Homo-oligomer: A and B are copies of this chain.
């Protein structure tokens, strides 16, 4: 008999929801969420597949728990700054978390919000409320800012899908004719030159300023 007892080198701390979710996030961060399988995940924890199902109903629940665990990484807003500055900070922190977990943006809206994401949304709404904007403007501002974070990180990561984003951009720009699509080529070149890296915050401020202006025009 070759195998004998299993090597006790494996940690084998008792399986728990949090540990499973954390391991799944680590795997997804590293190899992409597409190659995250239940078997894969179980093996990385030193267990067999079906043991996971004692702690997680199914893969969808696991993914939704991952999203919420990511949302929990978003900084809580500080209470000692102006509301609009806090909105700004919360948005930037959200962007950072989404960029840290490349699988998150695509899953962000697939499931009902868990506790952490609910808290983040409530915080953002509360801060908008505190800015003194009219309820309607606050409502739209919430959506505008939320869409911006999500759209921005999705676009960012869409290009980074492969290994080398620059190679992807070059592949694209080479695949189209500069005569047919001069603006497109110029735009991609602008990105490759890297002189628009701060466009996230620029557009964010554009949105926030626009809200203030609409309010003052009431």
Contact = CB atoms under 8 A, between A and B. Distances in A.
Given A129-B183, A184-B118, A203 B147 contact: yes
Interface residues of A, number: 56
B181 A110 contact: no
Contact of A148 (B118, B144, B214): B144
Nearest to A156: B109
Contact of A151 (B110, B140, B151, B180): B151
In the A-B complex, the 6 residue pairs with the closest CB atoms: A147-B151, A109-B158, A210-B210, A125-B183, A151-B151, A122-B181
Contacts of A202: 140
Interface stretch (A2-10, A22-30, A37-45, A171-179): A171-179
A139 to B, nearest CB: 6
A81 B199 CA distance: 29
Given A125-B187, A151-B151, A206-B210, 10 more contacts: A110-B161, A112-B168, A112-B171, A129-B183, A142-B187, A146-B151, A150-B154, A206-B211, A206-B214, A209-B213
A113 B110 CA distance: 24
A159 B140 CA distance: 17
A16 interface: no
A158 B199 contact: no
Interface string A165-198: 0001001100110001111101100100000100
A55 interface: no
A121 B184 contact: yes
A106 B126 CA distance: 29
Nearest to A196: B139
A57 interface: no
A119 interface: yes
Contacts of A136: 196
A114 to B, nearest CB: 9
A207 interface: yes
